[in-house]
Structure 1
């Protein structure tokens, strides 16, 4: 619920960045919970570094 957009970026050097946009914090928190379960169950052995989650408010858009 509340999902707006998702972006996956290959920053090079083995660094990947994903950005998700939600209408509210509750939607974002539920997504993080589900994503953590998926990564733990399916991708943990493929990722050299644990995911980092950062949240904040959109202050500008173009």
Structure 2
């Protein structure tokens, strides 16, 4: 996702806001957020199976839209 503003601020917001939510989801194994350079951030979630992975992607899309609208211009790309 492209970031408008501080990548560090975005990553801190994700750590404090989204990590506690996604880590409680059934099938959760791990979640990583990486500074991809050029104002982009890549997030990778790992779940036990495709069904829980797809559910987490939907949850991520909703959370990003609701909580990061000012930091992420446009729509974040979520891929399963």
Which has the higher Rg, Structure 1 or Structure 2? 1
Gaps of 5+ in 2: 1-25
What TM-score do the two structures reach when normalised by structure 2? Answer: 0.60
Counting strand residues as a fraction of each chain, which structure ranks higher?
A: 1
Counting helix residues as a fraction of each chain, which structure ranks higher?
A: 2
- Aligned with 1:25 (options 50, 60, 77): 50
Aligned residues: 55
Gaps of 5+ in 1: 56-62
Q: Which has the higher contact order (CA 8 A, sep 6+)?
A: 2
What TM-score do the two structures reach when normalised by structure 1? Answer: 0.74
